[in-house]
Chains A and B, each alone.
Chain A
Amino acid sequence: MSCLQTIQDYALRSVGIGERLLPRTDFTLCEQVTLIGSGMIWNIYFGLVAIALGFFAATGMALAKNSRNAWLRKPAEFFIYVFRGSPLFIQMFFAYAVFVVLKQSVPFLAPFTSAWLGATLVLFLNTTAYTAEIFYGALQSIPKGDLEAADAYGITGRSRFTRIVWPSMLRLAWPAYTNEAIFLFHATALVFFSGFPVWQQRGDALYYASYFADKTFNPFVPYPILAGFFILLTLVVITIFGLVGKRLNRHLPQAVIRRPGFMRTLMR
């Protein structure tokens, strides 16, 4: 079977399109790369949804924690404490167990026991807590001068937030937020090992990698492939976040960094 055929059969296997049976014997390198790559669809889905929703929730949560009203501040502090103080792995197990119990009395909640919704919810709450803490730290370190200038110009209320506070907060939080995004993508690999069942062998990249490692008893092929995919994903995340960070900082005086040319470092 040619590699092209394998890609046609298995490239979308993790979402249920293509060949139903997984390869069982004589695993080729092409099959391993294709299937593990196919599993990455799940990792990217979990990561993107959690980050996209978590970003807005975290902004609200950070503002709540920064609020002077104890009714807003205390719940936010508690939420952040619980989700940052306990392992994501245990949170997943716990959430799954709770969803299974809830399903029996409220059939409407049944979708939460499958990974696409339940695990995404846990990841979303988790990243909200971590990001909120980062944003809260950034809110605290917004330069006082910026806020005083806003007051002096009579900028108040909503426009003070959207034009002064929020951009500064994002600018200050951005490096730490990039790290959080990378960690979240890594955390998506936990999903199918923490209670959430894999349905019809539609798993994520780590699921397929461990499948191959179990079948061939050779970890030295599937796991490096998985590592390669994740490093690639990490690089993409760093690039995109770097571009956004550059835009957030574009009004600041840029330091001119003179990097020695590539050849000069080589010939030194």
Chain B
Amino acid sequence: MFSYCTDPSTLEGLTWLSCYLTTGKHMGFYFSFVTVIVLLLITAPVALLFGFAGASAARSRFLPLSLLGKAYTAIVRGVPDIAFFMFFVIALDQAFEYLRHKVKCPDWSEPIRQGSDFVVCSQAKLPLSTSPQWIHETYGFALAVLTFSIVFGAFAANVLYGAMRAVPRAQLETAEAYGMTTRQTFWRILVPQMWIYALPGLSNLWMILVKATPLLFLLGVEDIVYWARELGATKTARFSDYPHGNWHAIYFFGLLVFYLMLTSVSERVFKRITRRLSHGQATAAGEALRKATQ
């Protein structure tokens, strides 16, 4: 990066460090922090959507739909999330390829599962073997987002289901008394009021989501854990311009600090949101706010 970095073996101390920390690989490492943040920012709303759908389904009066909603939350909560991540990445990939195979190659006669192989026609491959590298990477990332959303959608569904039940029954009865339909009651009365009850659960969930992001590593995405393992490993003078010993501990310490900062900032933001949402609510926190301003 800097002009004096052409021959690193002659450098010492801070200049060496400044060159070492600006190699191409380190740029990849810094970029992977952006990947993690992007994953968080996409996953959170999508998972909330999944959760909302799940919670609405679980509340449904139509029995199969409510069973489906309840089963979704129960299964995901009963099994370690890491198992889901490892399952969904292969399963979703195979499901997409299977569907494309059925659509694109209808006159294919061989079975798709041949012993230990999963064979689809070459047009059905995802992404196509001819597509450039960035499409492969984006596809992997999209699969990861979808997987995270499915798993955390189940947790969100559980939180939102509880929040929907926490809205005072009298509010809904009043709505009915005014002649609102079930749908109107749901969208105009229940949904606007449930967020304050959902917030503690959702903030907790956000923290769990933040702390689950290192699992991206297991989904084959080049995330911060991947780079920390890569960069921290022992480098000999033969294969690297910057030979060093085993620096895994230092790199992982850096990640530890990064996550501590991320969770601390989140905690502060959530405190603010809670304060704002409590305003004017008939809850203990709302009452405390009212007294403080008097």
A interface residues, Cβ below 8 angstroms from B? 25, 81-82, 84-91, 93-94, 96-98, 100-101, 185-190, 193, 206, 209-210, 213, 215-220, 223, 226-227, 230-231, 234
Chain B window 221-232, contacts with chain A (Cβ cutoff 8 Å), 1 for yes, 0 for no:
000010011001
Is A206 in contact with B90, judged by CB distance below 8 angstroms?
no
B39-71: which residues lie under 8 A (CB-CB) from chain A? none
Task: Tell me, rounded to whole Å, the shortest Cβ–Cβ distance linking B184 to chain A.
Answer: 27
Interface contacts beyond A85-B264, A93-B255: sample of 4 additional A-B pairs, CB < 8 Å, sorted by A: A87-B212, A186-B80, A206-B83, A227-B78
Q: Provide the bound-state CA to CA distance between A96 and B211, in Å.
A: 18
CB neighbours (8 Å) of A188 from chain B are 80
Q: Which residues of A sit under 8 angstroms from B118, Cβ to Cβ?
A: 217-218
> Which 3 A-B pairs have CB atoms at the shortest separation, nearest pair first?
A97-B248, A186-B80, A94-B252
Closest to A206 in B: B83
- B110 / chain A contacts, CB cutoff of 8 Å: none
Find the A residue at minimum CB distance from B91. Answer: A219
Q: Are A217 and B116 in contact (CB under 8 A)?
A: yes
Q: Which residues of B contact A220 (CB under 8 A)?
A: 91
Q: Which residues of B contact A190 (CB under 8 A)?
A: 80, 82
If A85-B259, A87-B212, A101-B246 touch, does A189 touch B252 (CB 8 Å cutoff)?
no
Residue of chain A at shortest CB distance from B113: A218
Number of residues from B at the complex interface, CB < 8 A = 40
Distance in angstroms from A212 CB to nearest chain B CB is: 10
Residues of A within 8 A of B87 (CB): 213, 219, 223
A97 with B232, Cβ < 8 A, contacts A91-B256, A206-B86, A215-B116 known: yes
B256 touches which of A86, A193, A209 (Cβ 8 Å): A86
- Asked if A85 contacts B260 (CB within 8 A), the reply is yes
Q: Mark B179-219, 1 if CB is under 8 A from A, else 0.
A: 00000000000000000000000000000001111110110
Which of A81, A90, A185 counts the most B-chain CB atoms under 10 A from its CB?
A90
Among A89, A218, A223, A231, max chain B CB count under 10 A is at A89
Q: Nearest A residue to B81 by beta-carbon distance?
A: A186
Does any Cβ of A come within 8 Å of B37's Cβ? no
In the assembled complex, B27 has its CB within 8 A of some CB on chain A: no
Contacts of B214 in A (CB 8 A): 87, 89-90
B35: Cβ under 8 A from any A Cβ: no
- In the assembled complex, which residues on chain B have CB atoms less than 8 Å from the CB atom of A193? 82, 218
Contacts known (A94-B253, A219-B87); A206 close to B80, Cβ less than 8 A: yes
Q: Are A230 and B78 in contact (CB under 8 A)?
A: yes
- B217 proximity list for chain A (CB < 8 A): 89
Q: B263 interface residue, CB < 8 Å from A?
A: yes
Shortest distance between the CB of B9 and any CB in chain A (Å):
25
| Distance (whole angstroms) from the CB of A90 to the closest CB of chain B | 5
Instruction: Judge whether B17 is part of the interface by a CB distance below 8 angstroms.
Output: no
Min CB–CB distance A203 → chain B (angstroms) = 13
Residues of A within 8 A of B232 (CB): 97
Interface residues of B in 232-279 (CB under 8 A from A): 232, 246, 248-249, 251-253, 255-256, 259-260, 263-264
B177: Cβ under 8 A from any A Cβ: no
**In the assembled complex, B79 has its CB within 8 A of some CB on chain A:** yes
- Given A82-B260, A101-B249, A206-B83, A213–B90 Cβ distance below 8 Å? yes
B117 contacts the other chain (CB 8 A): yes
Partner pick for B83 among A86, A94, A98, A209, CB 8 A cutoff: A209
Question: Which residue on A lies nearest to B211, using beta carbons?
Answer: A87
Most chain A CB inside 10 Å of its own CB: which residue of B91, B225, B251, B252: B252
CB proximity of A11 to chain B, nearest CB, Å: 21
Distance in angstroms between the alpha carbons of A188 and B91 in the assembled complex = 23
